[in-house]
Structure formats: C-alpha cells, structure tokens
Amino acid sequence: MVVKPRLRRPDHPIGGQDYPRTLEEFDEWFSSEAACTAYLTRLRWPTGFTCPACGGRSSWSTARGLLRCTACQRQTSPLAGTVLEGTRKPLRTWFQAMWYVTNQKSGFSALGLQRVLGFGSYQTAWTWLHKLRRAMVRPGRDRLRGSVEVDETYVGGAESGVDGRQTQDKSVVMVAVELLSPKGFGRVRLRCVPNASRVSLIGFVRDVVEPGSQVRTDGLLAYRELAEHGYLHSINVIQGSGVQAHVALPAVHRIAALLKRWLLGTHQGSVSARHLDYYLDEFTFRFNRRASGARGLLFYRLLQQALEVAPAPYRNIVGGRPFDAEDVVDHNL
C-alpha cells in the first residue's frame, strides 16, 4: 500500500508522513509526475491553492501539470516564481537530484550528479547544483547568538611563497561560528568579502551576529569598533611570535579546515572564485544540519526552500556571459 504524504504541518514535518524516510518510500511516493506535482503543490500552498490573479481557492489540474482557477480560468504553474521556474526536465528528476544531494553527507560534484541522473551535459548538472545552492539559504534566517568566534580565512590561489604570488589570487572568506558550552560548535555563517577591511569585517558581523552576543576575534584593529555596535567584544590575543592562528581562534580554524577539505574532496578543487559564495552556502547548509539523523528531512527542507527563493535563470548564474572554463576551475585551489 502506498502511503500518501499528509503535509499538514509544514513547519513540523514527520518522517514517513510528510517526507520520505528511505529511498523505498521516496520511490513509492514519487513514482509519477502527477504525484510529484501534487506533493509540491501541497508544500507550496499548505492551506490550499490560492489563485494569484483573483484569490480564488478552487482549481483543477490540467494535463500539463498546471493549476486552472475555476473562478477566472487563469492557469498557474506550481513552479512559477520559484527556483525551479522554467525547467524543461521532469519534476521527478528534480526530486531525485534533491534526494541525492541531501542524502550524501558531503554532497555531489557536478560530474557526480551528471552520472547518477544520466545527463548528457555536464553544464546541465552544474547549473542544477547552482540552482539548488540558491535554495540552501533560508530567506530571513536568524542571526547567530551567544558566544561567536569570527575570523577571516583565505581560499584558493597559490600559497604565498610558493611561486612568489601573494594573496591577490585568493578569496577572503569571513567565518563566524557559535561556541557551545562547555564545548562544541553551533551554527556557522560564511561569506566572501572583497578584502579584510574594517567595512567588510564589521559589515559581516552586523549581518550575521545578533547584537548583545559575545564576539571573539583576533587583535586586528578593524574589530575594535564592535563594542559601538552593541557587541561584547573579546580579543583572543596570540601570545608571543610564531604561534599559529588556530591557537587563538580554534573554532574558525577548524571550520576553515573542513571547508577547504570539502572543496578539494567533493568538488576536487573545481570551484571558481566567481561562484565561491554559493559553495559557501552549500557548506553552511550541510554543516548546520550535520547532526540531523533524518536525511529525508533535509530533502524536505531543500524542496520547501526551493519554493521560497526567486528563480535563478542560467543566464543570471553565469552573469550573462557564455559558460566557460573559468566558471568551473580555479586551477590554484
């Protein structure tokens, strides 16, 4: 017997009722396009479809998977206005992509996704992953709170000293991580910034950390004005010379090491600085849900957020240019 998903409480979903717990359940629930469309429609309009033109609540499904309002006859795509808008591939394939991406602890590279979905084109798999990454950040998410460690790290580019090049090839990535008591990490936030200037550093903290929190940084002068913005600022001073930075800020150092290992492992370093921010979003999505035993719940959240974020047409992802090698590979990473 096929269990029909309930989806009655979208904010408190229950495994086996609101989201599939296993691949077997996934295959049962989403065996057809119609089943996928019905599930997605319920997730998008939890209290029932509402016509965007007239506000009508009554509709029927057309053969093409559209919802036709019984009052004004307007047809609405359940994908309109979402990150999946305009797709020409079956919804079921998108569901499979989301299932694979959330069930693998470290995720998939574009090549990996291309293989499991049997796509002819690497570029298609690459674009799909970028669309899904845009859904990995929940709009209006909370800021970090409590005790938060903040520092910058450098990703990509040649190591300074290796061939004489310095940090101009590297991306500056800001890292903030909640410190739990007595030990352990809470949530993280990461972002590329143009440089390690006062404006970049303070702007990042103000965006991602709740005022009133304790912010631990190194002794960089740029951080000194944090107190003026309502933070309890504490400086972890590195005693003496020759001491590695991780002694002073162990949490950020640990996150930065995990990030670099993930970029080099899952993505084999084929991450362009141009798109690094979106990889940071994926890393954050995975890290902040690392303790979740229910992978199906991650699938559910990813789909739910995919319906909340704006469309990301391919031309926007690549910035209006033709897709080229620079989009994929930073040879120095």
CB 76 to Zn ion: min, Å: 8
Cβ contact 43:30 at 8 Å: no
Q: 25 to 54, contacts with Zn ion by CB under 5 A? A: 51, 53-54
First to last CA, the chain: 50
**Distances in whole angstroms, Cα of residue 282 to Cα of each of 20, 108, 109, 266, 302:** 22, 11, 12, 12, 11
CB 54 to Zn ion: min, Å: 3
**Counts for the chain of helices (H) and strands (E), in that order:** 12, 8
Take residue 328 and report the two structure tokens written for it. 């994929």
62 belongs to the binding site for Zn ion (CB under 5 A)? no
Q: 20 vs 78, which CB is nearer to Zn ion?
A: 78
Among positions 7, 69, 91, 176, the unique one binding Zn ion when judged by CB under 5 A? 69
Q: 72 vs 243, which CB is nearer to Zn ion?
A: 72
Binding window for Zn ion (CB under 5 A); candidates: 72-80, 82-90, 98-106, 318-326: 72-80
Q: Which of 166, 44, 135, 36 is nearest to 89 (CA)?
A: 36
Q: 235 to 264, contacts with Zn ion by CB under 5 A? A: none
The single residue listed with the structure tokens 């989301």 is 98
- Taking the C-alpha atoms of residue 205 and residue 187, their distance in angstroms, rounded to an integer, is 14
CB 74 to Zn ion: min, Å: 5
Binding window for Zn ion (CB under 5 A); candidates: 69-77, 99-107, 195-203, 304-312: 69-77
71 belongs to the binding site for Zn ion (CB under 5 A)? yes
3-state secondary structure of 165: coil
Q: 66 vs 111, which CB is nearer to Zn ion?
A: 66
Q: 21 vs 68, which CB is nearer to Zn ion?
A: 68
CB 209 to Zn ion: min, Å: 44
- Taking the C-alpha atoms of residue 69 and residue 201, their distance in angstroms, rounded to an integer, is 50
Take residue 206 and report the two structure tokens written for it. 């103000």
CB 46 to Zn ion: min, Å: 19
Q: 72 vs 199, which CB is nearer to Zn ion?
A: 72
CB 8 to Zn ion: min, Å: 25
Q: 64 vs 105, which CB is nearer to Zn ion?
A: 64
Q: 51 vs 110, which CB is nearer to Zn ion?
A: 51
The single residue listed with the structure tokens 């949490």 is 251
CB 44 to Zn ion: min, Å: 16
Which residue type does 159 have? E
72 belongs to the binding site for Zn ion (CB under 5 A)? yes
What number of CA atoms fall less than 13 Å from residue 294's CA on the CB side?
15
Phi, psi of 237 (to 5 degrees): -80, 135
Q: x/- string (CB under 5 A) for Zn ion, residues 161-200?
A: ----------------------------------------
Cβ contact 188:288 at 8 Å: yes
Cβ contact 37:29 at 8 Å: no
Cβ-based burial of 213 (10 A; exposed 0-12, middle 13-18, buried ≥19): buried
Q: 66 vs 258, which CB is nearer to Zn ion?
A: 66
Count, residues near Zn ion per rule CB under 5 A = 8
CB 55 to Zn ion: min, Å: 7
Binding-site ranges for Zn ion (CB under 5 A): 51, 53-54, 56, 69, 71-72, 74
